[in-house]
């Protein structure tokens, strides 16, 4: 059964969503992310993906206080990403209440440091963020396109012990046009033991059912929930 992971993206302390990672497309859904987190938890969801978009843009964690509030007032397992670029950042994330962190840019730009984090915190707690655009890994809040192709990039870190990967097809993100199931199938065929978290494009409950049928272990989604395309009640069979 696929794992359901709703997402909360944060800008200036508010719950927002972007389209294709473009900050100019920001849409505010709620002024209080904690209110959203409590609503999500009330339906039986156990895990939440929180993204500090200010942090991703600023190259360091900004909205760690939001993690603290959610951790203090819910029992949700928080997976946090955005702006984790240094030892100080990752320490702040865990100290603020994150149970897991998602790291992308550092894995591209400073693989030695990322490997140190895997060893220090364990592969169970550090998720490799693989944001893909035109077959290449993008970094720094999707504003930079790197030279790393997806499959060799994943292979390098699987060899280093990575178990959990959050893969986002940027072209699909926020478009509500369906996820890149073909891409995720390719990843799972190459790395059958990987705990792959699919992200981007989920538009309806049928998309989640299709990912489940394809054997994808987990899915992150947000906009479809906030736009009312997916009702929390529809997710009950997965919880």
Please say if 131 is a catalytic residue: yes
Contact call for residues 22 and 237 (beta carbons, < 8 A): no
Helix, strand, coil tally for the chain in percent (to 5): 40, 30, 30
The residue to which tokens 């299709």 are assigned:
210
Contact (CB, 8 A) for 25 and 145: no
Q: What are phi and psi of 39, to 5 degrees?
A: -65, -45
Q: Which residue is associated with the tokens 């280093």?
A: 160
Cβ(37)–Cβ(79) below 8 Å = no
Query: What is the DSSP code (8-state) at residue 200?
Result: S
Catalytic residue among 9, 54, 169, 207: 9
- Residue 178 DSSP label: -
For the chain, how many helices (H) and strands (E)? 10, 12
Tokens of residue 152, six digits: 């060799």
Cβ atoms of residues 107 and 155 within 8 Å: no
Both tokens of 106, joined, read: 């550092």
Q: Which position among 79, 89, 131, 207 bears the catalytic label?
A: 131
91 is annotated as an active-site residue? no
**CA-CA distance, 219 to 203, in Å (whole number)?**
12
Active-site residue set: 9, 131
């Amino acid at each position: 059964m696929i794992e359901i992971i709703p997402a909360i993206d944060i800008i200036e302390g508010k719950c927002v969503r972007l389209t294709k990672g473009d900050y100019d497309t920001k849409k505010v859904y709620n002024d209080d992310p904690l209110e959203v987190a409590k609503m999500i938890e009330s339906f039986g969801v156990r895990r939440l993906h929180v993204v500090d978009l200010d942090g991703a843009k600023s190259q360091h964690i900004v909205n760690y206080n939001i993690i603290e509030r959610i951790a203090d007032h819910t029992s949700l397992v928080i997976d946090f990403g955005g702006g984790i670029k240094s030892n100080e950042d990752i320490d702040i994330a865990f100290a603020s209440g994150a149970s897991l962190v998602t790291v992308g840019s550092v894995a591209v730009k400073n693989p030695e440091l990322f490997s140190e984090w895997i060893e220090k915190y364990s592969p169970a707690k550090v998720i490799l963020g693989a944001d893909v655009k035109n077959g290449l890994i993008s970094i720094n809040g999707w504003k930079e396109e790197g030279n790393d192709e997806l499959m060799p990039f994943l292979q390098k870190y699987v060899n280093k012990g990575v178990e959990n990967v959050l893969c986002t097809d940027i072209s699909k993100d926020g478009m509500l046009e369906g996820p890149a199931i073909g891409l995720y199938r390719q990843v799972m065929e190459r790395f059958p033991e990987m705990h792959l978290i699919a992200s981007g494009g989920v538009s309806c409950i049928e998309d989640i059912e299709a990912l489940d049928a394809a054997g994808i272990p987990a899915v992150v989604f947000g906009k479809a929930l906030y736009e009312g395309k997916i009702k929390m009640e529809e997710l009950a069979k997965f919880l």
